[in-house]
């Protein structure tokens, strides 16, 4: 059966990699993003991809997206709550409250909204998969990134709770915890953290790689492959899990 898949923050990066992986398997895919140019580029490169310009943390906007999807699709098989921002890189005493709140809003409120708005639809069909994007920061913590780590820990708590709540309706809920993912976003994270800590970006990048047993970064495609697996029949009894895609994190970079 062809899957209908909805992905937040799917215009680029991890979200677009997920969209491409699901489409390669024959799925119908819709994505949101706040980056108009990214959505335009993704739509041009992938005919059939349904796009919405939307802030995943805005309830009114997300309700409108789900209403439109309901008018187009008979069912909703998979939701990937992927929206997230890096937040500030600073010692906790230097983090401003508005920065803290914005990071939690996009990362944690966004995951909550994607899941809570999907739940009634999936309950009505007695089937569905919800996968939230967390991070190894949600398992180990992350110095100088307190808002981000807090949000990602919260996502794992949300995952565990929803797996219990929605399991009787045959809805599986899991979290994916990527490690250091190659790409522009990680480059910016490293640049900001290196500046905040007074070390070279090259040394910090090597430090991140050395934190994993495989001594390398992962790719967006690695994460997307896990997303597709979790939504597949092969994972029919996998729920409530925080699945790492990280080369096995041994320690947190310090």
Catalytic residue ranges: 148
Task: Select from 174, 175, 204 the least CA-distant residue to 189.
Answer: 204
Residues in the chain: 254
Task: Select from 79, 72, 74 the least CA-distant residue to 56.
Answer: 79
What strand order describes the sheet that includes 171-178?
50-53, 28-33, 4-7, 78-81, 128-133, 171-178, 242-245
CA angle in degrees (0–180, nearest 5) for 145-33-78: 95
Helix (H, G, I), strand (E, B) or coil at 58: coil
- Hunting for tokens 């495989």 — which residue is that? 214
Alpha helices by DSSP H, listed for 74-128, are: 97-104, 110-125
Task: Select from 246, 134, 227 the least CA-distant residue to 181.
Answer: 246
């Amino acid at each position: 059966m062809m899957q209908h898949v909805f992905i937040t923050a799917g215009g680029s990066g991890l979200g677009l990699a997920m969209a491409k992986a699901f489409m390669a398997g024959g799925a119908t895919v819709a994505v949101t993003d706040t980056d108009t140019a990214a959505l335009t580029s993704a739509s041009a490169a992938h005919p059939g991809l349904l796009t919405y310009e939307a802030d995943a943390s805005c309830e009114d906007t997300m309700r409108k997206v789900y209403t439109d999807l309901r008018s187009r699709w008979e069912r909703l098989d998979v939701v990937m709550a992927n929206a997230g921002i890096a937040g500030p890189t600073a010692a906790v005493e230097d983090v401003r409250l508005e920065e803290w709140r914005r990071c939690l809003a996009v990362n944690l409120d966004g995951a909550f909204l994607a899941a809570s708005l999907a739940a009634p639809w999936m309950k009505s069909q007695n089937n569905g998969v919800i996968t939230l994007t967390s991070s190894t920061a949600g398992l180990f913590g992350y110095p100088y990134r307190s808002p981000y780590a807090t949000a990602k820990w919260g996502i794992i708590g949300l995952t565990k709770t929803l797996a219990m709540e929605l399991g009787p309706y045959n809805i599986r809920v899991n979290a994916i915890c990527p490690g250091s993912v190659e790409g522009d976003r990680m480059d910016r994270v490293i640049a900001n953290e290196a500046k905040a800590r007074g070390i070279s970006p090259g040394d910090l990048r090597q430090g991140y790689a050395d934190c994993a047993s495989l001594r390398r970064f992962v790719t967006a495609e690695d994460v997307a492959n896990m997303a597709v697996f979790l939504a597949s029949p092969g994972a029919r009894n996998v729920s409530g899990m925080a699945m790492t895609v990280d080369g096995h994190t041994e320690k947190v970079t310090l």
